[in-house]
Structure 1
Amino acid sequence: MDAFVARSLEEIRFWARIMKEHSLFLRLGFRCEDTQLIQEANGFYAVFEGIEARAHAFTAATDPQQIRAFNAEVHNAVSHIWVFKRKVLGLILTCQLPGANNFPLLVDHVSREANYFRNRLAELNNGRLEPLPDAIIDENVFFLKIMADHAKFIGHLLDPSERKLVDQAREFSNDFDQLLWQAQDLSSMRPQSQTKPLLSQFLDQNRVSVASLRDFKKTARDLIEACRIKSIIHPLLADHVYREAVHFLAIIDLFEQALTGQAPTPLPAAH
């Protein structure tokens, strides 16, 4: 099995679906008169649906050069959706979409994920790996911010009368803000902070909180799908944020295995 091919397909299968769903969520937040933006979002949905299907059609035995070309093509598509997302953010922040339902932080959030995906594809094609200690810190800084954002979105999209769940979401938001600040502190202390004991404790602590948030998201997703709680959260959005928590946990586990020499170093993302 070619590691470059396997990693490329794994990344594209996961993130192309995420980009496709971002297109849907943005479209749902536009006003009915925003026909041009709706049309653009629908176009990106179709593009990433096609990319996702093609990624599943390839196998680990596919010629690496074919995958290298595919990565470059996907990189181009992701660059375009990143530009679209930043354009939408600019429109919102200059009050040109009054009454629309996309939070500025949500649009920034989905653009950060597009940039992450774009950097990963470039790194794959360039064959450039970060040292494991840097990768551990950079990946966690990125995903802890993503998880903190998710908790804030859930808290704001639940109906205010769901007081207990809103409180739980706020607690997760505070927890992940603290973890993010800790990660940024560890980052600023580099390279002296990059000892195996400190990095191992860092991963252990983050795993506990991410696992708790994953369970909360799963419960919320199941309740939303069963129409048992009041919210304006689309069931697909609930599943979307749950899948990202699962993905982050898998990355933490890979890093811990690599740190203890039990597995090859996972490919980190460039930021």
Structure 2
Amino acid sequence: MSEEFVSRSLEELRFWSRIMKEHSLFLKLGFRCEDKQLISEADHFYALFESIENRANAFTIGTDPNVIRKFNEEVYQAVSFIWAFKRKVLGLIVTCQLPGANNFPLLVDHVSREANYFRNRLSELNLGRLEPLPDAIIDENVFFLRIMADHAKFISHLLDPSERKLVEQANHFSQEFDQLLFQARDLESMRPQSQTVPLLDQFLDQNRVSVKSLRDFKKTARDLIEACRIKSIIHPLLADHVFREAEHFLFIIDMFENSLTGKPVQMDVH
């Protein structure tokens, strides 16, 4: 169990510390020139999570679990601070105190939800209180389906309006994932009766198909942005960031499928 604790902790730490680092950059890019204090705070969090990411990458599966437990506690505090920063920024935006800035309120709420998710995961790992599989399948999908729906909306709004076909595709994904999220919430409200293996297996299969399609769309958009072949205000790192989150969701779906049915995990290589 101690090796599994270290493995799962490092997996979460390495993935999410990079995500938190990049959130800091994206928020900074959306501030106005005069928002010097907010820019300074974003720079602080970028450096903090870059340090956490580097330290997490230096640990191995053989690291003492007590060392990892202490590190999880330290990172929990750091994530709590960046969560509070994100909520402060959201408050400033929705009360019209940052007119002309370029961070969407939904984007700031989105990145704060991811911080809260990371914080909760660290706490669950340290307490040894991970959810039972049927609950985890529903709750993780509710969380990530909303994340994917948000991504589609951000892509639609950050593409140049003249990129009509890509905007149309992004809007289609937004609607598709809104519907999947509603279905997931229906399954959530029907539990525990809804938590049968056939229903959960179908739930995972359906979501996997849609997430793969969105992942491939994100990969195409990322490649086009990096090659300067489409018009947008999407930072190339943001395009890669949302692609990696879709890959992460697919990995989680496959892990659930394997635990639920014993089917071997099929890893896509992209």
The answer, yes or no, to whether TM exceeds 0.5 is yes
Match of 2:140 in 1: 139
* Structure 1 residue 171 displacement after superposition: 0.1
Write the letter of the residue equivalent to 1:198: L
Deviations 1:224-253 (A, max 9, x none): 000000000000000000000000000000
Higher relative contact order (CA 8 A, sep 6+): 1
Match of 2:252 in 1: 251
Match of 1:209 in 2: 210
Deviations 1:137-185 (A, max 9, x none): 0000000000000000000000000000000000000000000000000
Deviations 1:176-208 (A, max 9, x none): 000000000000000100010000000000000
Task: Tell me the SS of whatever aligns to 1:80.
Answer: helix
Partners of 1:116 and 1:143 lie apart in 2 by 10
In the TM superposition, 1:58-207 aligns within 5 A as 58-207=59-208
Matched, 1:32 2:33: yes
Match of 2:268 in 1: none
Structure 1 stretches of 4+ with a deviation exceeding 4 A read none
Write the letter of the residue equivalent to 1:224: I
* Structure 1 residue 129 displacement after superposition: 1.9
Task: Tell me the SS of whatever aligns to 2:117.
Answer: helix
TM-score (norm 1): 0.96
Partners of 1:100 and 1:128 lie apart in 2 by 41
* Structure 1 residue 3 displacement after superposition: 0.6
Match of 2:230 in 1: 229
Match of 1:16 in 2: 17
Deviations 1:88-147 (A, max 9, x none): 000000000000000000000000000000000000000002111000000000000000
Gap regions ≥5 residues in structure 2:
266-270
Matched, 1:5 2:6: yes
Write the letter of the residue equivalent to 1:207: R
Partners of 1:105 and 1:57 lie apart in 2 by 34
RMSD: 1.1
Task: Tell me the SS of whatever aligns to 2:131.
Answer: coil
Write the letter of the residue equivalent to 1:124: L
Match of 2:50 in 1: 49
Partners of 1:22 and 1:139 lie apart in 2 by 21
Gap regions ≥5 residues in structure 1:
265-271
Match of 1:268 in 2: none
* Structure 1 residue 261 displacement after superposition: 3.2
Task: Tell me the SS of whatever aligns to 2:234.
Answer: coil
* Structure 1 residue 263 displacement after superposition: 7.4
Partners of 1:14 and 1:242 lie apart in 2 by 13
% identical equivalent positions: 81
Bigger drift between 253-262 and 227-236 goes to 253-262
